[in-house]
Structure 1
């Protein structure tokens, strides 16, 4: 089965720049989709999250001065 999708000329040029010489557009799109990793919810421990919040807070406070 085959499906057509419409993309702008600019998008096609960007895809062509990512496409390997011996790769079909289908293979390119499959590679791009597979390389995207979903965000792991809760990936940080509570301790790491607290440190990150504190760092953001310190950063914001440094701009107030």
Structure 2
């Protein structure tokens, strides 16, 4: 089974630049789709999230000086 999709010339050029020599466009799109990782919501523990918040806060404060 085959499906056609329309892309702009610019998008096609970008895809061509990512495509490996021995790859079909189908192979390329499958590889790109598989490389996208879903965001794991709630992955940080409360402690890790608090450390990250503190780091961001310190970073912002250092730019305010």
Q: What TM-score, normalized to structure 1?
A: 0.92
1:45-60 matches, within 5 Å, as 45-60=45-60
CA RMSD of aligned residues (A): 0.9
**Structure 2 unmatched runs, 5+:** none
The structure showing larger relative contact order (alpha-carbon pairs under 8 Å, at least 6 residues apart) is 2
CA distance in 2, matches of 1:31, 1:63: 40
Runs of at least 4 residues off by over 6 Å: none
Q: What TM-score, normalized to structure 2?
A: 0.92
CA distance in 1, matches of 2:56, 2:7: 39
